[in-house]
Chains A and B, each alone.
Chain A
Amino acid sequence: MKKKWMSGLLALGVGSMLLAGCGGKTAEQAPASSSSTPAASAETEAKAETEKNDKFAGETLSILVSAGWMDNRYDQTLSRFEDTYGVTVDLQTIPAEQYSDVLQAKLTSGTCADVFWIQSNPFAIESVIVDPEAYCIDFTGASWESVVPEARLKSCKVGDKLYGMQLWHNSPEYVMVYNKTLFNELGITSTPKTYDELLKACETIAAKGITPWFLPGADGWQHQLAFFQIGGVYEEAQPGLYEALNTNKATFAGNEKMLQVLEQFKELSDKGYFGEDWIGTDSTNMANDFADRKIAMAMANSSFVKQIQDETQSTDEFGLFLIPLGDNTWFPTSPAGPTMFGYKETKNEELVKTFFDFVSQTESLQEILDNSPAYTNIHVNNNDVKQNWLPAEEEFMKTIDQNKMNVSVLQNGTKYTNDYWMDFGADMVAYCLGKMDANTVLKNMDDNRAKTAALQKDPNWQ
């Protein structure tokens, strides 16, 4: 009996402390806001602001995101958002390989978080979330639209309607990162600009027992980049190709430039320039292998240069150049990236809209960039944000012809292609092992795209 009384009193005590704790936050915020401005008008404004901020007090904003898309870089901004509005942010981070399934299940079952993310591109916005009109808040007319660059808006809009916000970096993605010091020591004075120059460089490097081009085939998603990141080269060889592919007037199969690139890729594989067992090697040790000079080049993001130096304390100098397959001279422009959407059925639509406004403010953008160790810039229309470009990036960007930056990478510039990334990768491996011919690799992509087009009831494929 005594025990029951004791536990009852304890529960009461804890309960009252909790209540006091909940109430304290808003009570503390109010005087802090009003005491800072003595002038009457300013006081009124501050009061209005406080009232505006307080209207969400106690609410919870849930966010569903794949691992790696927000992580630490949003922590500071989320924390400030919580403090500003007295709300709680419930961040639900899902492992990347499960994210798509979890999102689909939550959307179709009507249990999605207030804010959700997808890896969007100008075509994925419709295909990945199935039906933006059914699931996404329409943000058309939102002030933050002007913050998102035009190229990225294509991944956020369907027709004239604005659904998503894409805040992503614009570093050179999956270009060749190379050990400049090693190249110089081996007498390779200029970076390969053509396939023949690449072959020569590989020959020189391989002769020293170093893997010329590290390709982690066991990851399953990296080796395809060699084919897809050079989309401009295919468009240049056959002007209007992207448009024709998107309207089902052209195919991958039979495309001479694509066949040439696949053949070059196989030649490098056959000569062992990707390493003795590139198909069975993953990227776990890539930074260390670079620092140990076991490898000379690899496809990576420009920020990888910083990663090598931070993780290994290597004193070697690293640089960047374009993937030279197919004698490519085109920059891998990519309007794709993780994109944030508001869930249409949310009970907190106002709070979601406020969150989008909050994230797009200069202070938030700077926080997001500064808390992203892997990225050196954030691609937004806001000159007040201070970018952190690397010297290697700046040097590389100077070498790029501005006229060769306007063609998107193949996987994001053509419909239904990115959906079959892994299949294409497996086919490339089968081709390199002699189990499939190059044209079948391309034909399989056509067949797969046709299947998705049929699902989407795309009139061009009817």
Chain B
Amino acid sequence: MNKKKIYPQWFLILPLALYIVFFLLPSIMGILYSFTDWNVRSKGELNFIGLKNYIEIFTSNKNYTEGILNTLKFTVVSNIVKLIPALLLAIMLQEGLKGRNWYRTIFYLPSVLPFLIIGLTFTSILNYNNGLLNTVLDALHLDFMKQKWLSDLNVVWKSIYGVDAWRGIGYCMTIFLAGLNSIPKSYYEAASIDGANFFHKLKYITLPMLSGAITINLVFGLTYGLKVFDIIYVLTNGGPGHETEVITTYSYQLYANGYYGMSTALNTILFAITTVIGVCVVRYMSKQEVQQ
């Protein structure tokens, strides 16, 4: 008798049907549309144009390729600036810090705010002329630190990473905390008896035992980074100029201008990149877990 078989398989029919109708089918249709000239004037007549949309993406002077590179850059950097501080915070708050529950709540709070609110708030804070940040710097006689936070080519990406980290660190921290809670205290006690210091424990106990939480954070972070849209749209709308354009902002512009086929082609590229990177990361991290 197989005790694991609790529910009959037909229980899957309804969720599977919903998944197929509302996710799988539209996704496949989206990919098919990317090979057509579907646009605002098509009136239902779609013509198959092969790889023309994809060729235009990589050859047009519109710099879509720069948008793709920006997306990849954002994915990598935003994860670094979120995950490392989040891990350190989680370790700190796991230790016997006074008022740690308060800190956990405070750090987590920004992640429940909608992107739109965050974007609008920070657009105002980061305003060069009358934003809060520059006003405070002025008041503290730190004028030399004043920046055109959202309109200087050398600063704008840093501002975006900063705002994104402010929003996301608490979320990543919570996942790390859950992982840390599952590590038996006895491991640390045994290590202490053997004379291990903080860094030894971190390297040989905490990090290996946290690989599950790291995988979750990485996969979530990568998919979020590759799909990033709202925070950039609200903060800079792809500017100044086209400096912070990413795949999704270009895709949005194309859709708004009525080039639906081309827009879906860009999204298909995003889908392919996300799938490849996601699968690679999960496989690599799974192997690491098995080895440990």
A-side interface residues toward B, CB under 8 Å?
Answer: 100-101, 104, 130-131, 217-218, 220, 275-277, 279-281, 285, 419-420, 422-423, 426-427, 429-433, 435-436, 440, 443-444, 447, 451-452, 455-457
- Asked whether any CB of chain A lies closer than 8 Å to the CB of B153, the reply is yes
Q: Which 8 A-B residue pairs are closest in the complex by CB-CB distance?
A: A430-B241, A280-B151, A277-B128, A279-B151, A429-B241, A277-B148, A279-B240, A280-B128
The answer, yes or no, to whether B150 is at the interface (CB within 8 Å) is yes
In the bound complex, residues from chain B placing their C-beta under 8 Å from that of A452 are 257
A444→B241 contact, CB < 8 A: no
Residues 234-275 of B, flagged 1 when their CB comes within 8 A of A and 0 if not, give 000111111100000000010011110000000000000000
Shortest CB-to-CB span from A295 to chain B, Å, is: 11
* Contact (Cβ within 8 A) A440 B61: yes
Contact A426 B241 (CB under 8 A): yes
Q: Is there contact, CB below 8 Å, between A444 and B62?
A: yes
Q: Which residues of A contact B129 (CB under 8 A)?
A: 275-277, 280-281
Contact call A277/B151, Cβ cutoff below 8 A: yes
The answer on a CB contact under 8 Å between B128 and A276 is yes
Q: Chain B residues near A218: list those with CB within 8 A.
A: 150-151
Residue of B whose beta carbon sits closest to that of A294: B129
Say yes or no: A279 contacts B39, CB within 8 Å: no
User: Which of A280, A420, A422, A443 is close to B148, meaning CB atoms less than 8 Å apart?
Assistant: A280
Give, as a whole number of angstroms, the nearest-CB distance from A441 to chain B.
Answer: 10
A429–B236 Cα distance when bound, in Å, is 13
In the assembly, what is the distance between CA of A280 and CA of B124, in Å?
A: 10
Residues of A contacting B135 with CB < 8 Å? Answer: none
Residues of B within 8 A of A (CB): 39-41, 43, 60-62, 127-130, 148-151, 153, 237-243, 253, 256-259
Shortest distance between the CB of B51 and any CB in chain A (Å) = 18
- CA gap between A110 and B149 in the complex, in Å: 46
Is there an interface contact between A285 and B148, defined as CB atoms closer than 8 Å?
no
Which residues on A sit within 8 Å (CB–CB) of B240? Answer: 217, 279-280, 429-430, 433
For residue B127, which residues in chain A have a CB less than 8 angstroms away from its CB? 280-281
A277 vs B130: C-alpha distance when bound (angstroms): 11
Q: Are B241 and A427 closer than 8 Å at their CB atoms?
A: yes
Docked Cα-Cα span, A97 to B178, in Å, equals: 42
- A427-B241, A430-B241, A433-B153 in contact; A443/B61 too (CB < 8 A)? yes
A and B contact pairs by CB, cutoff 8 A, 18 listed:
A104-B40, A131-B43, A220-B237, A220-B239, A276-B128, A277-B129, A277-B151, A280-B127, A280-B128, A280-B129, A280-B240, A281-B129, A426-B238, A427-B242, A430-B240, A433-B153, A447-B62, A451-B259
When the two chains form the complex, which single residue of B150, B256, B257 contacts A280, counting CB atoms closer than 8 Å? Answer: B150
Contacts of B148 in A (CB 8 A): 276-277, 279-280
Closest B-chain residue to A278, C-beta based? B151
A419 engages B151 (CB within 8 Å): no
Bound: A440/B256 CA distance, A: 23
Residues of B close to A280: CB separation below 8 A: 127-129, 148-151, 240
- Bound Cα distance A392, B253 (Å): 40
Q: With A280-B150, A430-B242, A435-B153 in contact, do A455 and B41 touch (Cβ < 8 Å)?
A: yes
- Tell me the smallest distance from the CB of B257 to a CB of chain A, in Å: 7
Option from A430, A455, A457 in Cβ contact (under 8 Å) with B40? A455
The minimal Cβ–Cβ distance linking A445 to chain B, given in whole angstroms, is 12
B149, B238, B240: residue with the most chain A Cβ atoms closer than 10 Å: B240
Residues of A contacting B150 in the complex (Cβ-Cβ under 8 angstroms): 218, 280
Query: What is the distance, in angstroms, from B200's C-beta to the closest C-beta of chain A?
Result: 48
CA distance A454 to B35 in the complex (A): 17
Known: A130-B41, A277-B148, A440-B61. A429 touches B128 (CB 8 A): no
CB neighbours (8 Å) of A455 from chain B are 39-41, 258
Which among B41, B130, B239 is the interface contact of A279 at CB below 8 angstroms?
B239
The smallest beta-carbon distance between A416 and chain B, in angstroms, is 11
Contact present for A281 and B128 (CB under 8 Å): yes
Bound CA–CA A236/B249 (angstroms): 38
CB closest residue in chain A, given B238: A426
Residues of chain A within 8 A of B238, CB atoms compared: 426
Which residues of A sit under 8 angstroms from B41, Cβ to Cβ? 130, 455-457
In angstroms, Cα B152 to Cα A429, docked, is 11
Chain B residues with Cβ below 8 Å from A217 are: 151, 240
Q: CA of A220 to CA of B239 in the docked complex: distance in angstroms?
A: 9
Q: What are the residues of chain A within 8 A of B237 when measuring CB–CB?
A: 220
Chain A residues with CB under 8 Å of B243's CB are 430, 433, 435
**How close is B120's CB to chain A, nearest CB, in angstroms?**
12
Nearest CB on B from A305, distance (A): 23
Contact A429 B153 (CB under 8 A): no
In the complex formed, the residue of B with least CB distance to A436 is: B241
Q: Which residues of B contact A440 (CB under 8 A)?
A: 61
Write the chain B residue with the least CB distance to A101: B256
Least distance between A95 CB and chain B CB atoms (Å):
13
A426 touches B61 (CB 8 A): no
- B residues within 8 A CB of A444? 61-62
CA distance A218 to B124 in the complex (A): 12
CA A436 to CA B245, docked complex, whole Å: 15
User: B69 → chain A, closest Cβ, in Å?
Assistant: 14
Q: What CA separation (Å) do A310 and B259 show in the bound complex?
A: 44
- How far is it, in angstroms, between the C-alpha of A280 and the C-alpha of B148 when the chains are bound? 7
| Contact across chains for B40 and A130 when beta carbons are under 8 A apart | yes
B129 to chain A: closest CB distance in Å? 6
